[in-house]
Structure 1
């Protein structure tokens, strides 16, 4: 190959690769119900079209000994040694709001992936898969109700 052709090919690759890695920021807002108990532990995570664990987006609640009560997330993410790296914070009180942001690849949106949230509160019933919602443009801005602790979850893509 000639030098000008190699240079042109290298330049084209350099310009194309950032487009392939392009992503969007997911902004998730979960409004909790006034359920009358202690702060809730929440695991916000992503599953693929077959229900297999992909990644943890956020875990609200700082004591690892209680993570077993977030049973679906705990079971699905057990093999992910990095599942808690930089994605943990305080539990969320009744009636309060949790806001989470995460960077996601464009390829995950409208591709069958699902956002799931497990919830648990001390001395109250655990709620695995409290919320399950598609990671899709059709879900953006539409509140999704929870089953027990969460009033609603809304997602924005930026």
Structure 2
């Protein structure tokens, strides 16, 4: 019986893995960027929101593609925090279901800044063992993203 309990405990804790995410922002001028980190499936559909950086919900609609997903599933239990300004760094942690690794999923970093351009895919990381280990370059407000397993 004790062996069964230990095995069950191990399997339950192995379902999700924690990751630390370092975001380095480019040196843009303007308000803080609202950033959403989403798990995207192989078809390009939103599966889960892993992190929201920007705590004033009235600005969520400026992250247009993600907001469509959010309005259908507003009970998302994502970690939220402050928006991130130009040149700053942000470190956050999130959990990813281990069964999604090496299965065609990716992490999308979507950004919006008040009165400036919106970036649906500012940065993207393939959710593979190799993809997670590499630094991803941003295309807009994000200079780069680096993820490490905790």
TM-score under structure 1 length normalisation: 0.84
Separation (CA, whole Å) in 1 of partners of 2:31 and 2:103? 37
Moved over 6 A (4+): none
Task: Assess, with a 3 A threshold, how the Cα gap between structure 1 residues 80 and 13 changes in structure 2: closer, same or farther.
Answer: farther
Separation (CA, whole Å) in 2 of partners of 1:106 and 1:69? 31
Task: Assess, with a 3 A threshold, how the Cα gap between structure 1 residues 86 and 56 changes in structure 2: closer, same or farther.
Answer: closer
Separation (CA, whole Å) in 1 of partners of 2:116 and 2:17? 36
Q: CA deviation at 1:108?
A: 1.7
Most deviating of 87-96 and 139-148: 139-148
Q: CA deviation at 1:51?
A: 2.2
Task: Assess, with a 3 A threshold, how the Cα gap between structure 1 residues 33 and 137 changes in structure 2: closer, same or farther.
Answer: same
1:61 and 2:27 aligned: no
> Structure 1, unaligned stretches of length 5 or more?
1-9
Separation (CA, whole Å) in 2 of partners of 1:100 and 1:69? 22
What residue is the counterpart of 2:132 in the other structure? 140
What residue is the counterpart of 2:25 in the other structure? 32
1:16 and 2:7 aligned: yes
> Structure 2, unaligned stretches of length 5 or more?
none
Task: Assess, with a 3 A threshold, how the Cα gap between structure 1 residues 75 and 93 changes in structure 2: closer, same or farther.
Answer: same
Q: CA deviation at 1:20?
A: 2.9
Q: How many residues align?
A: 148
Separation (CA, whole Å) in 1 of partners of 2:7 and 2:138? 41
Separation (CA, whole Å) in 2 of partners of 1:70 and 1:25? 25
- Structure with higher Rg: it is 1
1:47 and 2:47 aligned: no
Separation (CA, whole Å) in 1 of partners of 2:46 and 2:115? 27
